[in-house]
Structures are given as C-alpha cells and as structure tokens.
Amino acid sequence: MADDTLEKRVEQLAAQVQALTATVEQLAARMAVTPTVTPVVSPHPLIAPPVTAKTAEHAADAPDEVTEEILSWAGKTALLPRLSTLCFLLVVALILRTITDNNIINTLIGSILGMAYATILMVVGWYKYDKGSPLAPVFAACGAALMALIVVETHTRFQSLPLVPAYLTLMATGMAMAVISYRYNAFIPISAGTLGMCLAGAAIDYPNPFFPYLAMILWTANMLGFFATSLKRCSWLRWIVLTVSMVMLYLWSFKLTLPLARHELMPETLALSWFFPVLAIFTVTFAGIALTGIIRAGSQKMSRFDFFLPLINVVLMYINSFYVVNAWEGSKHLLGWVGIATAVVHFSLAAWLVRRGTTGGKGENAFILAGATLLALALPAASGSFPLSLPVLSVAGFFLMIVSGKWRNGGTRVISYLVQVYPAVALAIFFFGNRPAGVDFLMALPAGLIAVCSLFHYQLARRAAPSETALFFARFDHRDHSAVALLLAALVTGFLMLRNVIYQVLATVPVDVGNSFRCAQSILITSAAAGLMLFALRRRNREIRNVAIMVTIIGAVKVFLYDLLGTHGMPLVLSVFSFGLAAALESIALGRWQKGDVRTAPPPAGTPDDGEKAGQGP
C-alpha cells in the first residue's frame, strides 16, 4: 500500500511538472510570435490608424495602469490613514464646540479644554515625528490650526481671553511649530504655525486691533517665514505673510490720518508714538531678510521674493510715512531727507554685494532698483518742488549707466534707462497738466538739464554695448533697441524747454498768444524732424533716421489735424510752410541715402548696419 501511494504521488508531481512546462512553452512561443507593430501614418487627419491586437491590449490595460499608479501614490503618502485621522481629530474638536455652545460646560472651561486639546495634538505630533510616523503632520497641523481658531474665537466672541495672553499664545504656537520643523526637517509644522499665527493675529479685534501688539505678531511671522526657506523654497508662504503685514500697516496709517487731518483727539489704541519706530523696525528687518536671502542664494537662481522685497519695502513704508506726516502737518522735508539717506544705504548695500562677488550680478540690482525708486519718491519732499527735483534723478540715471559699465551688469543698465526716462515722462505730465501761463519761466531749466543728461546717456549707451551675459539683452533686446527711449526722452524734454521759452516770449508780444503758440509748437516739431534727418544722413545712422520719420508723422498730424482746423492767419501759414520745407529737406536726404545704399555693397547676412553697431554713436 505504501508503494502504491508513493507511486501515485510521483505520477501527480510528474503531471504538474509537465503542465507547468507546457504553460511556459506556450508563453515563450506567444512572446516570440507576436509581431512588431509598425506605426502607419494616416492619409487624412480624420482617419484613425489601424488597431492591432497589441494596441487594443494596451488600450484595455491603460485605465488599470492609471488606477494602479493612483493607488500606489495614495499608499506611499498614507492618504487614507491621514484623512481618517483628520476626521477623527475634527470630530473630537466639534464635540467640544457643541457642548460649549449648548452651555453644557462653562465657556471659559470649554476654551481651556479646546486649547488643551490643541496642545495635546501638537505634543502628539512631536512624538509621532520622533517615531517617524506618517500621521505626524496631521497631528501637528491640526493642533496649530485649532489653537489659532480657538484663540480668535475665545478672545473675540467670548471675551474670556485677554489680548496679551492671546497674542502670546499665538506666538508660542508658531515658535513651537518652528522647533518641530527644525528638529525633524519637516516643512508642514512651521508653515501651519506661521500661517495660523499671522492670520489669527490679523483677525483679532479687526478692524480695530492694538497695532503695536499686532506688529509684534507680524514681525515674528515674517521671521519664521524667512527661516522656513531653509527647509523648503516656500515663496507662497512668505508672500502671504508679507501681504498681511503690509495691509495691516497700511490700515494703521490710514486710521492715524483720519483724526490727524480732522485735528481730533487721538485714540490711545492707535498708538501714534509707536508708528514710526515700528515702521523703522520693519524696514530694517525686510532689508536684512532680502540681503540674507541674496547672500544665501549666491550664484544660484535668486527667488523673486528676495528680489522684489526691497522695492516693496521702501515704497510702502515711505508712502505710509508720508500719509501720516502730511496729515500730522509734520516736516515733509525731514521725511524726504530720511528717504534719501535710506536710498543711499541701499546703493551702498548694492556696492557691497558687488565687491563681495558672490551674487552673480543679480542681487545688487534688487537694492539698486529699490534705492532709485525711493530716490524718486523722496526727492520732491526733500527739495519742496517736484519739477526741480527731476534733474537730480536724471543725473543719477546717467551715473548708474557708468556704474553698469564698470560692473558689467546689464540689469543696472536697464535700471538706468528707467531712471532716465521717468523724469522726462513726469515732466511732460507736469507741463501738459498745467496751463502754459501757469508754468514759470524757470521750469525751462530742469527741462534743459534733463534733455542734456538724456542725450549724453544715449551717446554713452551707443558707445558701449551691453554685457553679453545680461538676461534682458540676451533674451529680449540683443541689439539694445531700448536705448532709443533715451533719445526720445531728450527730444521730449528739449521740446518742453523750447515750448516754455516760446510761450514766455509770445506773452510779451501783442499777438494772439493761443493761436501763435499752437502753430509755434508745430514749427518746432517739424524743424526737429528735419534736423534729425540731416544728422542721420551725415552719420548714416538708421536709428536716428527712423526717429526722424516718427517725429515727421507727429508733425504732420499736428499741422493737418489741429492747426488747419483750429488756427488761422500768418501763424497757420508759417506752420504749413515749415512742414512743407521739412518734408522737402527730408525727401532730398532720403534720396541721397538711397543713392549711397546703391553705391555701397550690401553687408553680409546677419551683420548689423552702421546705426545698430555697438560702439558707434550719433
């Protein structure tokens, strides 16, 4: 019997081995016989390619593969356990809230229990991080969020938590979350704690908080946001905290201006004596954060937050200060000089970064842009006259151009263009926004100075090509066409200067000042167009030639659409005659230009013309 049983088992094993062998052979044959599918190009976009057995099999398996991938991701991130844990934690919080709302327990006791529960969650989150549990972020984030909500509701709705303990509780929560993040290199705790502290602090007693205490909360939140970047590049967190801080500081300045402008008694809650020290602290802090971020980035890519923070800092802080000083009837001259000194500090920081040589030619531009913008804001207050302050800014733009050449920094070159164009645009708005009779004769002086600076700036730009490593010129303007704006700025301010002089002269002559003044402006424009064309012909400069054509078009519109319909007499005759003469001269110049082009052999392909070569100026 034993032999029969052994023989049966051997036969069963042999049969199983044969079956497995046959299965393997079938699979190998199937893999070897399966033909390679060659893609067929469809003759028409509406005709689909033929469907083979292999493509049909892949199409059938595609949803399964996507599903498996999603399930794999959910398993790796422990999504379902985290969601279930979150729900259970919220259930406990809602139970505490329900029994408190129904007066089953005292409000104060309910608040204490809620804050104790949030504290327990944060402690459990700390313990879970120490054990490496995937549920640790859920406990920590829930604890921080619940603590912020409970503090706001306890103070605002139930009035059972005083203001100072409420702020201190928020600060302690944010700092505790920061400690957890740094100890375990986790980003979620510090982000949840910082956002909860910042938003809850802004919500307490809104819109009438005690601003010095709120400023302390916001300052701490900004510092924690800065430290969070060492764990993860989290610009979104820093932008949110910065936005809340700037909005609340603006609210403070706005509330201060109302009683100051009305000469009313200042409420103690607004804390006027703390306003300027707090702004000074924030200004220094934001500048330090940006400087540290730039140094930390080194030659690597710098974050947009660090680049724009100095600009946002100086602009908003100066505007807030100006509103309060103006409503307070304080010394705007002193504020202007403080702004100029702050701008000089920013320029000094930019120079220090260049000497340090680790920012790759990028970080210093953040402080140069901020300093130039602050200079534009502070100069009118310091000088007491908006138009008279513009030439100083024009000179600053010219010197920035020189500095950009020494530093070989294309970004500084672009900023110098902006600083040079701004005075021309601002002066044009000033002139055209006031009646000619209301503009003093001395206003021709700043216009002339800006015109000279802009012209020298343009010549310097055409003599020195921009740096090849500059991102703006390498990507958007490799031939430096943007420098034409400097020439246009010189033409506009020169026109404004002569326009003012002509009006002052006509005002002393017994003529129809309005009629003669309109036609005199047309004569000035057409004369400038003819002069530019002759100058371009002499230098063979196509850039100036194109500008001359544009000025001619402006003169034609002025003569034929404005002068013919709105003026009369001898001034109109002179206006039309001047345009005709200018058109004739330009026609002769263009004819000679074309003849010269015919006699000259065409340059090789890709070679810039004479007017576009770097290093050749007008």
How far, CA to CA in Å, does 284 sit from each of 173, 277, 315, 493, 517?
A: 25, 11, 13, 37, 52
Q: Is the predicted pLDDT of residue 605 greater than 70, yes or no? A: no
438 in a structural domain: no
Residue ending a domain, choose from 172, 188, 206: 206
Least confident of 315-329, 344-358, 574-588, 592-606: 592-606
Question: What pLDDT shows up at residue 550?
Answer: 95
Characterize 374-387 residue by residue with b for buried, 16 or more Cβ atoms within 10 angstroms of its Cβ, and e for exposed.
Answer: bbbbbbbbbbeeeb
Q: Do 257 and 195 belong together in one domain? A: no
Residue 72 pLDDT more than 60? no
Q: How far apart are CA 480 and CA 231, in angstroms?
A: 40
Supply the pLDDT for residue 251.
Answer: 95
* 129 and 191 together in one domain: yes
Say whether both 183 and 278 belong to one domain. no
Confidence of residue 44 (pLDDT cuts 50, 70, 90): very low
CA nearest to 389, candidates 427, 363, 351? 427
Answer whether 335's CB lies under 8 Å from 322's CB: yes
pLDDT at residue 453, as a whole number: 96
User: 179-223 pLDDT, tens per residue?
Assistant: 999 888 888 899 999 999 999 999 998 888 999 999 999 999 999
pLDDT of amino acid 4: 55
Same domain, 274 and 350: yes
Judge if 265 and 169 occupy the same domain. no
Residue 541: give its domain's CATH number. Answer: 1.20.58
Closest Cα partner for 552 from 610, 491, 501?
491
* pLDDT score at 25: 58
Residues sharing a CB contact under 8 Å with residue 609, sequence separation 6 or more, in sequence order: 542, 603
pLDDT tier, 572 (very low <50, low <70, confident <90, very high otherwise): very high
Q: How many domains does the chain have?
A: 3
Q: How many angstroms separate the first and last alpha carbons of the chain?
A: 117
Same domain, 147 and 202: yes
Pair (377, 256) in one structural domain? yes
- pLDDT of residue 56 exceeding 50: no
Per-residue model confidence as pLDDT tens digits over 252-270: 999 999 999 888 888 888 9
* Domain assignment of residue 101, yes or no: yes
157 and 90 within one domain: yes
Asked whether residue 7 is assigned to any structural domain, the reply reads no
Residues 286 and 194 grouped into a single domain: no
**Of the residues 174, 206, 238, which one is the last residue of a structural domain?**
206
In the predicted model, what is the mean pLDDT of residues 51-56? 48
43 in a structural domain:
no
Is 418 within the bounds of a domain? Answer: no
Domain containing 95: what range?
A: 77-206
Q: Tell me whether residue 531 is exposed, middle or buried, using C-beta atoms within 10 angstroms of its C-beta: 0 to 12, 13 to 18, 19 or more.
A: middle
Percentage of the chain beyond pLDDT 70 is: 82
Phi, psi dihedrals of residue 248, rounded to the nearest 5°: -70, -35
The dihedral through the CA atoms of 435, 441, 443, 449 has a sign that is positive
Among candidate residues 356, 384, 412, the one where a domain is terminated: 384
Angle at CA 170, nearest 5°, toward 166 and 171?
115
Residue 555 within any structural domain of the chain: yes
In this predicted model, what pLDDT tens digit does every residue of 238-256 receive, in sequence order?
A: 999 999 999 999 999 999 9
Based on the number of CB atoms within 10 Å of its own CB, is 63 exposed (0-12), middle (13-18) or buried (19 or more)? Answer: exposed
DSSP letter, residue 481: G
Distance CA 3, CA 9 (A): 10
Whether 353 is in a domain gets the answer yes
What's the pLDDT tens digit per position in 484-543?
999 999 999 999 999 999 998 998 888 888 899 999 999 999 999 999 999 999 988 999
At 429 the pLDDT is 93
273, part of any domain: yes
The answer on pLDDT for 607 being more than 70 is no
Helix (H, G, I), strand (E, B) or coil at 213: helix
Give dist(CA 421, CA 394) in Å, integer: 8
DSSP secondary-structure letter at 233? -
Q: Is residue 291 pLDDT above 90, yes or no?
A: yes
166 & 261 share domain: no
Q: Both 287 and 364 in a single domain?
A: yes
The whole-angstrom separation of Cα 514 and Cα 556 is: 20
pTM, rounded to two decimals: 0.80
Q: In terms of domains, do 179 and 278 share one?
A: no
Spell out the residues 6+ positions from residue 590 whose beta carbon is closer than 8 angstroms to its own.
533
